[in-house]
A = this chain, B = another copy of it.
Amino acid sequence: MRESELLSHIYARSQDLSARFPYILAGPGHDCASIKTPASISLLKVDQLVEHRHFTPATPLDLIARKAVARAVSDIAASGGTPLAALAAATLPPNYPHANELFDRLSHWAIHFNCPLVGGDIATTPSPREGAGGGASSSAQLSPLTLSISIIGTPHPSRGHVLRSTALPGDSLYVTGSLGGSLNPDGSGGGRHLTFDPRLPESRWLCEAMGSKLHAMMDISDGLGRDAGRLAAASQVRIRINAAAIPLSPNITDWKRAASDGEDYELLFTTPARLPAACAETGTPITRIGSVESGSGCIIADGSRELDASEMGWDHGTS
């Protein structure tokens, strides 16, 4: 397919965006998109999805597109915000035959999550040279399909942008939903990393119910242990997690899995308030799993043992 044909497809499918989302002033087809934002403060996030890293060649295109958008939307939720619009950049392997369908599924999920695609960029990786070897399947492996989704959102109108650096000693540490097994290698757990719903309504409810008492928040993408360690470091506090309190996903039994598997996309937050056991709006469980103290670091207490939580979970090595 020629780029011009794909662009024609995208422009045709995007013609009614401004009618459906009146704050979109200019969508695909210009050098820049433009939107009218409801507040003077904007939230900004970019996230990537890389073949063989975040999905496999067997993952249906619809679920790849869903995950690419939902991951970035989850960060908007973790900031107490609401998504407004998205930009999508795709690097396609040579001879990629599904570009139109990929756009259609990205566009579908972006609209589903209320951040329509207002712009994007498509690039194709070069074809392998003679002598590079390996044939079609290995070159596909080595030129992975890569999606980069940028989202602009608006913070909660009264609570504002919720940061991860504002936890205070005396806070309780809470988590939504249950943890672990999202990527279960045996295929159990329903592939939740592909089908999760970003916690937008839960985040909004927390902002409204707690206001300024919602001290700090983030989403769990690299595992509770590592991410709680990041929250502790950003807030310059010490976090103590009670292993027995961690809500385990139905398909796992070991709290260490729940602390380290990652890709949960649940909200992790701190507040001095006492919360009900579920979000009043959605019924999503809310569990107190620990506390915030003076000091530094993050430990998980398992009976009398104390483990360094920040070494658990995913550290995506770059070499």
A interface, CB within 8 angstroms of B: 1-4, 6, 25-26, 29-37, 40-48, 50, 52-54, 75-76, 78-79, 81, 85, 87-89, 91-92, 94-97, 99, 118-126, 128-129, 131-134, 138-139, 141-144, 146, 148, 150, 152-153, 155, 161, 163-165, 217-219, 234, 315-319
Q: A75-B32, A138-B129 are known contacts. Are A316 and B122 too (CB-CB below 8 A)?
A: yes
CB pair A44 B78 closer than 8 Å = no
Q: A91-B50, A122-B318 are known contacts. Are A31 and B45 too (CB-CB below 8 A)?
A: yes
CB pair A148 B32 closer than 8 Å = no
- Chain B contacts for A163, CB-based, 8 A: 26, 30
CB pair B2 A317 closer than 8 Å = yes
CB pair A138 B133 closer than 8 Å = yes
A-B pairs, top 9 by smallest CB distance, nearest first, are A133-B133, A142-B142, A132-B138, A150-B150, A148-B148, A46-B87, A31-B78, A31-B75, A32-B79
Apart from A128-B142, A133-B133: 14 A-B pairs, beta carbons within 8 A:
A1-B317, A31-B75, A32-B44, A32-B45, A32-B75, A42-B42, A45-B87, A45-B119, A46-B87, A46-B119, A46-B120, A48-B121, A131-B138, A132-B142
- Chain B contacts for A78, CB-based, 8 A: 31-32
CB pair A45 B26 closer than 8 Å = no
Name the prevailing secondary structure of the A interface residues. mixed
Nearest-neighbour CB distance to chain B for A25, whole angstroms, equals 7
17 contacts between A and B (CB under 8 A): A25-B41, A30-B234, A32-B76, A32-B78, A32-B153, A37-B41, A44-B150, A47-B89, A48-B89, A48-B91, A91-B146, A123-B146, A124-B317, A142-B143, A143-B143, A148-B148, A152-B152
Q: Which residue of B lies closest to A234 (CB)?
A: B29
Q: Which residue of B lies closest to A216 (CB)?
A: B30
CB pair B45 A35 closer than 8 Å = no
